Amino acid sequence: MARYLSVAAALAVTGAAVLTPELLLSTVRRTAADPSPDGSVALFSYSQYSFEEHASAGSGMNLIDLKTGDITDSGLNASEINEVVWLPGTETGIIYINGTNEEIPGGVTLWIGDIKSPNTSTLVASLDAPYSGLKVANTSSGDLHFLVNSMAYPNGTAVNPETEVTPASTARYYSDVYVRHWDTWLTKNRYAVFAGALSANNSYALSGAGMRNLNHGINFTATQSETPIQPFGDLSDYDLSPDGSIYAFVSKAPQLNKANYTASYAYVGAFASSEAPVAFNGPDSEAAKAGHKGASGLPSFSWDSSKLAYVQQDEDYYESDRWILYTVDVAVEGSGVAVSNWKSLSAGFDRWVQGPIIWAEGDESIFVTAEDYARVKVFNFPITADESFVPEPLTSNTTVASYAVLPDGSLFVSATAIWTPNEWYILANGTKNTLFDASQVDPNLAGLGAHTVSEFFFNGSNPDLKQQLHSWVIKPSNYKDNVTYPLAFYIHGGPQGSWANGWSNRWNPQVWADQGYIVVAPNPTGSTGFGQYVTDSIQGNWGGWPYEDLVNAWNYVNTSLPCADTVNGIAAGASYGGYMTNWIQANDLGNEFKAIVTHDGISNTQAAWATEELWFIRHDYNGSIWNSDAYAKWNPQNHIANFSTPQFIVHNTKDYRLPESDGISMFNILQGLGIPSRFMNFPDENHWVLKQENSLVWHTEIFNWINHYAKGEPLSDTPVGN
């Protein structure tokens, strides 16, 4: 912590620097900061990696004072504490999960304390499994109700890995599609939400009922109930009403196969009842009859516990449909929950409503975030909003990662930008007061700022598109006006995704620019944040309009961006961006680049049925591999005769959505054709390279490759693992 508290003065001396991969990967990483109930301080965790030690250079939990911006050690021991939650109804009370349970190895414990005296906390509950994702309600009786989640056996018992019995055989055996997902092979176990109560009786104790698995009672014909929804679900998949009486969570449609459908429903149940929770937007519901059948998310109770907000998509096999905001009234009735007055608040807002969803004090309006023109902004919806309502953004230039409403009604925002991993500020009546900006404090990030970043708009290829398309331009930190730099043409994944004004530890555009490139990062057809029509227009059209859009963006750069040397340019992309680099290799645009970099991309669409998310490829390719001609039409490997550009291919073993065979077959073809090419694989990484040591090799070898072909630097002659 002293490591970066003492550097503010040093920065003035060092000035602008170059963001190398080492600096990026060894920069202090911070979580978003979470304000205390009284709004005096916000808590965040940090960690740092050292390439000298090849190990963590430390981690901890700090407080930022929300008046002064001063950062201090919280006194909480991050190596013992897994997560901390503020106690509602107090000023600075906390409840936390301690990762050690002395009575039950592999379990955890709950402790209650106050951030003002962090080492005087009391142990209040011993839990028999490694639960996480704590949410707490302070009830009128004084009892605390809480939700956590854990992996559970089919009989509903939470899995404690310390006592798990390893079967004698390693066989995996399936009778239905969806055998593995993301980076994990499916077993019979599923994640579940568990409820517990701490009864208040001088001190607190886990009530006699112990922990109750809330997903366990849900019957299914195709898909067993699971919350959080894997692999990215987290505690935003469930919520507890502030009075502790009602819980809500989302879980996949029990009657639909997970490989074929994205649909999930919102369930509610009475906390005090053992009755199984009920979905209120499943088949035959008012929502389903009105055509809203897709995935559900972000259940969030109002402060008075009488309303639930959530989001849902319309289509049941499209992951990139629009997320729309809904509310329902909820009330405990008998042993269940009565749900009424279902209504949509954002039908007229052509953006995806994202979290966090936070009710304003008084429950008259709801804050949300949404991606808008390559930024993620905060918006507010009155609960009376109808389909004619279109909100104005409350924030502007950056990517809001998290935010909270403080007791005085102001917003505390944690944001990121291309030039900073953390910008924390208070927004009061439209005035922004920045409390912390990592790029002004961390020595690794010295010199970063908005001055290297600009954007342009270019014509799309879809003749019916009524708007221009967007692209970022990122110049080197030490950019000079009278010098040209090779173009690095940067293609995003998804394809329903975007390059947004946010920080990334992978594909950080400033790191590429600081190798001496002009990074151009276009948002072509298929991108999100520009209206659903732009997103949807990629369906059945993977190598069509998006490719033509990229050609238009390249032409714009060639004619209008003199600092970019397009003769010596390179193209790079991951995931769909990896597919697109393969498609560029197969088409004329490939001739404009000196080298191509492909990370985990499809090279053979005819092999796409080796994925698990069959709904994805079925939607995007207008049908299944046996009944749609889009697979043959947009297959890079159907144009092998056009391959000619040197290509660096990365494909990781634990990427089960896009299996590594796609990278290997592409490499084998290039080698067979005598085209300079290299193949890199990380056996322990999934779709992303997450480990710092692996990421450093990834950056070093890719940069060596592009710097050789774009700038004539020597090529390393000993590829890793060869």
Ligand X SMILES: *[C@@H]1O[C@H](CO)[C@@H](O)[C@H](O)[C@H]1NC(C)=O
Q: How far is the CB of 666 from ligand X (least distance, A)?
A: 25
Query: Locate tokens 């399936």: which residue?
Result: 174
Rule CB under 6 A: say whether 257 interacts with ligand X.
Answer: yes
Q: Among the options 305, 655, 677, 699, which is catalytic?
A: 655
Q: Among the options 241, 461, 471, 575, which is catalytic?
A: 575
CA distance 217 to 718: 57
Q: How far is the CB of 165 from ligand X (least distance, A)?
A: 7
Residue nearest to ligand X (CB): 89
CA distance 661 to 167: 29
Q: How far is the CB of 676 from ligand X (least distance, A)?
A: 31
Q: How far is the CB of 310 from ligand X (least distance, A)?
A: 20
Would you say 454 or 606 has its CB closer to ligand X? 454
Strands ordered across the beta sheet of 399-405: 353-359, 365-372, 375-382, 399-405, 411-417, 420-428, 431-437
Is 687 noted as a catalytic residue in this protein? yes
**Among residues 26, 48, 62, 138, which is the contact residue for ligand X, using CB under 6 A?**
138
Would you say 379 or 616 has its CB closer to ligand X? 616
Q: How far is the CB of 266 from ligand X (least distance, A)?
A: 15
**Among residues 18, 23, 276, 697, which is the contact residue for ligand X, using CB under 6 A?**
276
Nearest-10 crossing angle of helices 576-585, 545-560: 70
Question: Binding to ligand X (CB under 6 A): which residues in 542-581?
Answer: none
Q: How far is the CB of 614 from ligand X (least distance, A)?
A: 6
Cβ contact 321:311 at 8 Å: no
CA distance 490 to 510: 12
The structure tokens listed for 135 are 């949410």
Rule CB under 6 A: say whether 153 interacts with ligand X.
Answer: yes
> Binding string to ligand X for residues 617 to 646, with x set by CB under 6 A, is what?
-x-----x----------------------
**Among residues 20, 31, 260, 558, which is the contact residue for ligand X, using CB under 6 A?**
260
Would you say 230 or 410 has its CB closer to ligand X? 410
**Residue 188: is it exposed, middle or buried by C-beta count within 10 angstroms (0-12/13-18/19+)?**
exposed
Rule CB under 6 A: say whether 97 interacts with ligand X.
Answer: no
Question: Binding to ligand X (CB under 6 A): which residues in 434-473?
Answer: 450, 453-455, 459
Cβ contact 657:620 at 8 Å: no
Q: Which stretch binds ligand X (CB under 6 A): 114-122, 229-237, 563-571, 660-668?
A: 114-122
523: β partners: 470
Helix (H) or strand (E) holding 204: strand 203-206
Would you say 16 or 290 has its CB closer to ligand X? 16
Can you give the three-state secondary structure of 419-439, one letter per residue? Answer: CEEEEEEEEECCEEEEEEEHH
Would you say 28 or 614 has its CB closer to ligand X? 614
Q: Which stretch binds ligand X (CB under 6 A): 404-412, 655-663, 680-688, 691-699?
A: 404-412
Q: How far is the CB of 75 from ligand X (least distance, A)?
A: 5
Q: What share of the chain is helix, strand, coil (3-state, %, to 5)?
A: 20, 35, 50
**Among residues 206, 338, 428, 720, which is the contact residue for ligand X, using CB under 6 A?**
428
Would you say 59 or 642 has its CB closer to ligand X? 59
Rule CB under 6 A: say whether 433 interacts with ligand X.
Answer: no
**Among residues 397, 433, 434, 716, which is the contact residue for ligand X, using CB under 6 A?**
397
**Among residues 6, 50, 187, 201, which is the contact residue for ligand X, using CB under 6 A?**
201
Would you say 87 or 670 has its CB closer to ligand X? 87
**Among residues 9, 68, 119, 161, which is the contact residue for ligand X, using CB under 6 A?**
119
Question: Binding to ligand X (CB under 6 A): which residues in 314-343?
Answer: none
Rule CB under 6 A: say whether 408 interacts with ligand X.
Answer: yes
Cβ contact 505:536 at 8 Å: no
Radius of gyration of the chain (CA): 26
Q: How many residues at the interface with ligand X, by CB under 6 A? A: 46
Q: Among the options 599, 619, 651, 687, which is catalytic?
A: 687
Q: Which stretch binds ligand X (CB under 6 A): 24-32, 97-105, 166-174, 681-689?
A: 97-105
Q: How far is the CB of 619 from ligand X (least distance, A)?
A: 10
CA distance 21 to 572: 17
Would you say 153 or 182 has its CB closer to ligand X? 153
Q: Which stretch binds ligand X (CB under 6 A): 48-56, 93-101, 591-599, 637-645?
A: 93-101
Would you say 79 or 388 has its CB closer to ligand X? 79
Would you say 289 or 480 has its CB closer to ligand X? 480
Cβ contact 355:376 at 8 Å: no
Would you say 367 or 705 has its CB closer to ligand X? 367
Which of 641, 568, 551, 649 is CA-nearest to residue 602? 649
**In whole angstroms, what separates CA 108 from the centre of its chain?**
27
| Cis geometry, peptide bond prior to residue 683 (ω within 30 degrees of 0) | no
71: β partners: 64
CA distance 111 to 131: 14
Provide the pairing of β-strand 564-574 with 595-599: parallel
CA distance 66 to 381: 26
Would you say 121 or 346 has its CB closer to ligand X? 121
Question: Binding to ligand X (CB under 6 A): which residues in 62-91?
Answer: 75, 77, 79-81, 87, 89-90
**Among residues 102, 234, 588, 693, which is the contact residue for ligand X, using CB under 6 A?**
102
Q: How far is the CB of 668 from ligand X (least distance, A)?
A: 29
The structure tokens listed for 373 are 């023109």
Cβ contact 719:680 at 8 Å: yes
Q: If phi over 0 gives left and psi between -120 and 50 gives alpha, with beta otherwise, what is residue 197? A: beta
Dihedral sign (CA 307, 31, 88, 247): positive
Cβ-count burial 495-521 (b if 16+ within 10 Å, e if not) = bbbbbbbbbbbebbbbbbbbbbbbbbb
C-alpha pair distances (Å), 480 with each of 11, 449, 475, 484, 510? 22, 16, 9, 8, 15
Q: What string of DSSP letters covers 521-555? A: EEE-TT-SSS-HHHHHTTTT-TTSHHHHHHHHHHH
**Among residues 199, 380, 505, 642, which is the contact residue for ligand X, using CB under 6 A?**
199
Q: Which stretch binds ligand X (CB under 6 A): 12-20, 119-127, 280-288, 567-575?
A: 119-127
**Among residues 231, 409, 562, 721, which is the contact residue for ligand X, using CB under 6 A?**
409
Coil, strand, or helix at residue 318?
Answer: coil
Contacting positions for ligand X (CB under 6 A): 75, 77, 79-81, 87, 89-90, 93, 98, 100, 102, 109, 111, 119-121, 138, 144, 153, 155, 157, 177, 199, 201, 217, 219, 257, 260, 276, 397, 408-410, 428-429, 450, 453-455, 459, 480, 482, 614, 618, 624
Catalytic residues: 575, 655, 687
